[in-house]
Amino acid sequence: MKGEKKGVSSRRDCLKVMAVAAGGVAAGVGGASLVGRLGPASPGRWLVLTEEEACLVDLVTEQIIPSDQFAGASAAGVVNFIDQQLDGSYRNLLDGYRTGLKRIEKMSVEMFGRTFASLKWDEQTGLLQAMESGKVSKKIWAEQDSRRFFRMICDHTMQGFYGSPKHGGNKNYVSYRMMGLEYPRVIGQNRYPEI
């Protein structure tokens, strides 16, 4: 489909991208150089997010709506929704997103000595719970409220998961299937069997 982007294909692919970014930490360069890699998007499959930012958003949103017997945020393409909205209606939030994502990485390095992508599931959960409760390093989150950032990305995750696929998320109507809802019919596009 024209204008449709492929989402982050798997946790493994995301780990590969983030592992490259983590090379600086392993080489002793430190968290600041790692986090410096998150910046303006270069031409690619994302409208405004860098590959590293997209991977991080994908991991965070999957923590918010994880896969179980049903598809989670990653399979629903929530990162696509967020990327599209940051290029449109949420454009004024882009700098806040970039800053918040950098702070998540700094926090991960400070707490665990590793990037968010390399953390175990429970460690990622713990980090996000600390953000949600505001129990974070005041040095890292001095100029941005971790609770507010977490609520924002949580709200956008819900919008991308439960909203219409035309906005970039809810790929293949995964949330509608989960809830047992019929897909919305589009006038002029309905196909009915001939009688």
Which tens digit of pLDDT belongs to each residue from 29-51?
344 434 444 444 444 688 999 99
Q: Average pLDDT in the 187-194 region? A: 47
Give residues with Cβ within 8 angstroms of 132, minimum separation 6. 146, 147, 150, 151
What band does 175 get if pLDDT is binned at 50, 70 and 90? low
Per-residue burial over 8-29, b = 16 or more CB atoms within 10 Å of its CB, e = otherwise? beebeebbebbeebbebbeeee
Query: What's the pLDDT score for residue 77?
Result: 85
Top pLDDT among 171 and 73 is at 73
Query: What's the pLDDT score for residue 42?
Result: 45
What band does 71 get if pLDDT is binned at 50, 70 and 90? confident
Give the rounded percent of residues in the chain with a pLDDT score beyond 90.
46
Q: Closest Cα partner for 50 from 31, 70, 36, 29? A: 36
Q: Closest Cα partner for 113 from 38, 54, 35, 30? A: 30
Cα separation, 93 vs 111, whole angstroms:
26
Cα separation, 33 vs 101, whole angstroms:
14
Query: What's the pLDDT score for residue 92?
Result: 95
Query: What's the pLDDT score for residue 46?
Result: 87
Cα separation, 142 vs 139, whole angstroms:
5
pLDDT at 100 over 80: yes
Q: To the nearest whole number, what is the mean pLDDT of the chain?
A: 76
Query: What's the pLDDT score for residue 35?
Result: 41
Query: What's the pLDDT score for residue 94?
Result: 95
Give me the residue spans of the domains in the chain: 11-179
Q: Closest Cα partner for 29 from 41, 21, 40, 17? A: 21
Q: Closest Cα partner for 141 from 104, 179, 89, 185? A: 104
